[in-house]
Chains A and B, each alone.
Chain A
Amino acid sequence: MLTLTCPYCGVAADETELAAGGEAHLKRFGPGSTDAEFDTYMFARENPKGVHFERWRHAYGCGKWFLAARDTNTLEVFGTYPAQSSAPPQHIRDAITAKRPGWTWRDFA
């Protein structure tokens, strides 16, 4: 059972306090988008063994959504940051680089 620290209220929350929300940093495609764009937005997901970015909600806590960078294989957590981020902040990227040099995830590195 994972423990993730909510970046809003600072609580180190057990997984039972949290609700998982799937992959982070999705770009929404609405009306006017191509079938391929919409399909990718809705259904294409990363499935890495390693560095991954996820959405979590502190559902039984402060109620805020946040994002987590972690390793799906070792369960190491590189950091959590507010959901109001269109890309992982630099300090999170640096933390990952320190542990996983050369990592990439979608267009991020």
Chain B
Amino acid sequence: MSTRLARGGRLINRRKAVTVTFNGRNYKGFEGDTLASALLANDQMLVGRSFKYHRPRGIVASGAEEPNGLVNLGQGGGFEPNARVTTTEVFEGLTAESQNHWPSLEFDVGAINTALSRFLPAGFYYKMFLHPRSFWKHVYEPFIRQSAGLGQAPKARDQDTYEQFNAHVDVLVVGGGLAGLQAALTAGQSGLRVLLIEQSAHWGGRAAVDDPLIDGTPAEFWIKTAVQRLAALPNVRLRTRTMGAGVYDHGYALAHERLTDHAPEAGKPRHRLWRIRAGKIVTATGMIERPLSFAGNDIPGVMLASAVRDYAVDFGVSIGDRTVVVTNNDDAYRTAMVLHQAGLIVPAIIDARVQADGALVRAARDLGIRVETGRAIARVKGGKRVTGVTICAHAGEGSGLEDIACDAVAMSGGWSPVVHLWSHCGGKLIWDEGLAMFRPDATRPPTGADGAGFVFPVGGANGMLRTADVLTDAVAVGASVSGQAAGDVPVAVDSEQGAILPVWLMPQGATLKLRQKMWLDYQNDVKVSDVQLAAREGYESVEHAKRYTTLGMATDQGKLSNINGLAVLSGAINTPIPQVGTTTFRPPYTPISMGAIAGVARGDLFQPVRKTPIHGWHEASGAEFEPVGLWRRPYAFLQGHESAHEAVNREVLNVRRNVGLLDASTLGKLIVKGPDAGRFLDMLYTNVMSTLPVGKCRYGLMCNENGFLIDDGVVVRMAEDTWLCHTTTGGADRIHAHMEDWLQCEWWDWKVYVANVTEQYAQIAVVGPNARKVLEKLDGMDVTKEVLPFMTSADGTLGGIAARVFRISFSGELSYEIAVPASQGRAFWDACLAAGAEFGIQPYGTECLHVLRAEKGFIMIGDETDGTVIPQDLNLGWAISKKKSDYLGKRGQERSHMVDPKRWKLVGLETVDGSVIPDGAYAVGTGTNANGQKNTQGRVTSTYFSPTLGKGIAMGLVERGPERMGEVIPFTKGNGTTVDVRIVDQVFYDKAGAKQDG
């Protein structure tokens, strides 16, 4: 039984009871409890089921390393899976549910897997689900999906808010134990900006539990004083509940602050992600105790010795009345003495070492505690709870010498420094043979921009076990990172410690039967025998063995299991531990919430929305929007009850018959100006722009050096040294950057400026047979064919608004595009609608624009092009200068593959039955390829219903297409059938171009 002791519990407030709910039952805890301590105080040891075998799982640890105590927390919009009970602080009304069991935690059908464990060895999934292949989709995958994952994904939208915070500091200290506090104190004296963060709610780490004397005072008092001194320094910031999640290049670090998890409050952010730029980073992240590998070490009631001690001292909770301590080092003796002093029974300390006579060992013996040296636990007895242990000689194979009844086992396999943050950015480790631990190698730190190390491990994280060493290290590091001479070190008194005996198997010669019950990874059910099997099957690299066995995967990332696992691997392949090495440590240290990663970037703030000056009118006028880059453009304007499709058809016919109005403000507008502007544009465009007369427009194509088409648009020469380049809507910023790149990096002596004026102008297209009448009614400029013919431009006023008018057409109709200052855009739009009313004017959207251009056979960047298409593929040879010696892409287009006559080229496509071909459909060729798939000979790039022609029309790229006019070939319809399609001219409407010239 685990229960609350009558006395003790330095972190709890016994005057304030708190009720929490676990699996529907209420439990009484105290303010200051973690969910783990509250459950343990009520004898709720069983908290979950393991991943593979659904074994009963109890709490093992007292901190972030806990692998078993993972629960679903909260409900609905406040639901969170995989919350660790050991780091979840209780509050009134907390609700939690255990995970990975059915139908209940106490009785789980999946536990049958444990009886079948012989058939579920390492690599089971890889071996089992290989054959027959046909089983994969309907048998194996549904089964694996059903059993995958511990927690459940939240179903409701997250009700909480999150935020992010940028911080720039000189020194970031991660970890608020003795080492972190002292390092921050020393560094803080320099006046540098220091940020000290601690993952838990309390300062001092585990020091107050072990209680060394510091400067003649109890550790708890020293900690309190240190925090007060730090708080008094204006240059030092302190944050608890803030976990150092990751260290990245050049002193960048992420920290995750849990603001209201412990006291939910509406209106306050739940988590805060700190994005920190630190000059130097001190990692004072302490150590984590290792489990021991003995048979039955996963039975609830087997716990880390330090955790047993923490629960007793911090929360006044006893794990059992009779606790057997098993260890290979001196530190676990502290647990035995704490329990003994609390009046609990320690039947024996089982010490694998033949000789144990350190100060702590002597003290335990002096208290009359039975100490058995050279002994091991052969097996733990019990099912859902420990009932006893069988002890044996550690040197042997596990023959039982004696059974000891107990209801808890406190184990200690030694300590591992928390080296995660040191390693994230490339810090290397060395294996310390004497201490049996990997610790940071100070000679190979992660390096910053100046080539020097920027991460400084200190205290336990640096392999220090004794308080005096920790504080000396902290003063030295604190002084070094702040450029000072080391000052006075607090005087610490604690017990010296005898040497550790590395124990990776207990007993060292354990039989296979025992090894099959020795858990390395409690969460993922990886046993000693699994790692040994993986090694035998050739998975000798630690990274391979990890993935094959799943050792150290999932939420705890092997905080308890990694070192034990690689030591077992080391033994299995007869390679020393340092050569086996560790798996890669990757951020975050413990999982952080997706909400914190997103911050405020959700909903309306997910990304900025660009709006044209006329956007408000669109919203008020039935527009269905579609995203185009960051813009929202009207897809169509719906009238009454019509569908979007009906609206598009109406808009197309109205443009063809009367006049339409398009908000083209999103078109990119780049001013290119300077003495060398013409020469520059001749390099950028495939045709010649330098010879364009002032006031004239010319369609241009832009390619990259590979020869592939990247953008198109109309270029206007505005003055002798000034051109206006129109780009596609999505291309403005990209093409602007493209121009700057070539100007700055290749032709940097050319005198050219580029300015992106896209948002400075609203641009409105007035399109259709009545377009001229509308502009004439607006009045102010001569827009007749004689004064302003096709492909020319003029400045003037229309309806009293300054306007630049371009006679260009993307529809095949008589068309004017009018640019006005952005501030006048809405006024000009309204004026056009008023003036055009009598001529049947209607606004139209992007889909109508697409249909109009497709009817006319005009290409669209992104439809007809996909980054592998050259202008020649699109029959645009007329827009490629033969005279120019060079332009971007010219050399690329000369390559053999680009001039291959078998290239797919643009043609018009018409179904024989008049239907609309599915977008992206492939033309079926003859024969099959190497994979047995049918060969293709073309694909659809644009496909629409043409209301003008009353049938489906399309464009596509077809092998030797232009040579095959009139040929009928099959295209796939996506449902297994094909449709016959005739290859035709890509211009479906007004082939002579009489209308746009009108």
Query: What is the interface of chain A, defined by CB distance below 8 A to chain B?
Result: 1-3, 14-15, 19, 21, 28-33, 35, 38, 41-42, 55, 57, 59, 63-65, 71, 74-77, 83-84, 99
Contacts and interface: CB of A to CB of B under 8 A. Distances in A.
B737 interface: yes
Nearest to B451: A76
A75 B706 contact: no
A65 B451 CA distance: 24
A23 to B, nearest CB: 12
A84 B250 contact: no
Nearest to A33: B891
A55 B740 contact: no
Interface in B606-631: none
A3 B740 CA distance: 22
A104 B155 CA distance: 56
Interface in B437-488: 447-451
A99 B84 CA distance: 47
A27 to B, nearest CB: 10
B455 to A, nearest CB: 12
A13 to B, nearest CB: 11
Contacts of A33: 891
Contacts of A55: 745
B275 to A, nearest CB: 9
A41 B894 CA distance: 15
B106 interface: no
| Most B Cβ at <10 Å: residue of A30, A35, A77 | A30
A11 B741 CA distance: 20
A3 B890 contact: no
Contact of B741 (A28, A29, A65, A84): A65
B890 A76 contact: no
A1 B252 contact: yes
30 contacts: A1-B248, A3-B277, A3-B449, A14-B277, A15-B249, A21-B741, A28-B746, A29-B891, A31-B886, A31-B890, A31-B891, A32-B891, A42-B892, A55-B745, A57-B737, A57-B740, A57-B741, A65-B740, A65-B744, A65-B745, A74-B447, A74-B451, A75-B447, A75-B448, A75-B449, A76-B451, A77-B449, A77-B450, A84-B744, A84-B748
B744 A38 contact: no
Interface in B870-916: 885-886, 890-892, 894-895
Interface string B364-376: 0000000000000
B885 A59 contact: no
Nearest to A63: B740
A3 B447 contact: no
Interface size bracket, B side: 20 to 34
A30 B895 contact: no
Nearest to B885: A31
Given A30-B886, A76-B450, A84-B748, A42 B737 contact: no
B249 A1 contact: yes
A75 to B, nearest CB: 5
A83 B748 CA distance: 9
Contact of A42 (B249, B705, B746): B705
A15 B705 CA distance: 26
B741 A1 contact: no
Contact of B744 (A59, A64, A71): A64
B706 A42 contact: yes
Given A14-B277, A31-B894, A42-B705, A75 B249 contact: yes
Given A33-B891, A42-B706, A75-B426, 15 more contacts: A1-B250, A2-B249, A14-B252, A15-B249, A28-B705, A31-B886, A32-B891, A42-B892, A59-B737, A65-B741, A65-B745, A75-B249, A75-B447, A75-B448, A76-B449
A19 B248 CA distance: 18
A74 B444 CA distance: 10
Interface in B740-788: 740-741, 744-746, 748
Nearest to B749: A84
| Most A Cβ at <10 Å: residue of B251, B448, B891, B892 | B891
Contacts of A41: 705
A9 B680 CA distance: 26
Contacts of B746: 28
B588 to A, nearest CB: 15
Contacts of A71: 451
A51 B878 CA distance: 47
Contact of B250 (A2, A21, A65): A2
A38 B449 contact: no
Contacts of B740: 57, 63, 65
A60 B277 CA distance: 18
Contacts of B891: 29-33, 38
A71 B449 CA distance: 9
A83 B250 contact: no
Nearest to A75: B249
A94 B328 CA distance: 55
A66 to B, nearest CB: 9
Contacts of B745: 21, 55, 65, 83-84
A14 B748 CA distance: 26
A71 B886 CA distance: 36
| Most A Cβ at <10 Å: residue of B248, B426, B449 | B449
Contacts of A76: 447-451
Nearest to A39: B895
A72 to B, nearest CB: 11
B752 to A, nearest CB: 14
Interface string B581-600: 00000000000000000000
B250 A75 contact: yes
A35 B886 CA distance: 16
A3 B450 CA distance: 11
Question: Lowest 5 CB-CB distances: which A-B pairs, in order?
Answer: A76-B451, A1-B252, A84-B748, A74-B447, A65-B744
Contacts of B248: 1
A33 B748 CA distance: 22
Contacts of B450: 76-77
Contacts of A83: 744-745, 748
B240 to A, nearest CB: 26
Interface string B105-119: 000000000000000
Interface string B74-116: 0000000000000000000000000000000000000000000
A59 B250 CA distance: 20
Contacts of A15: 249
Contacts of A99: 451
Contacts of B744: 64-65, 83-84
B890 A30 contact: yes
B427 to A, nearest CB: 12
Interface string B708-746: 000000000000000000000000000001001100111
B602 to A, nearest CB: 19
B758 to A, nearest CB: 15
Contacts of A3: 250-252, 277, 449
B746 to A, nearest CB: 6
Contacts of B885: 31
A2 B426 CA distance: 14
A85 B252 CA distance: 30
A75 B706 CA distance: 31
Nearest to A70: B449
A6 to B, nearest CB: 13
Interface in B236-280: 248-252, 277
Contacts of B448: 75-76
Contacts of A74: 447, 451
Contacts of B741: 21, 57, 65
A28 B741 CA distance: 13
Contacts of B890: 30-31
A59 B451 CA distance: 26
Contacts of B250: 1-3, 75
Contacts of A14: 252, 277
Nearest to A66: B744
Nearest to A41: B705
Nearest to A78: B451
Contacts of A65: 740-741, 744-745
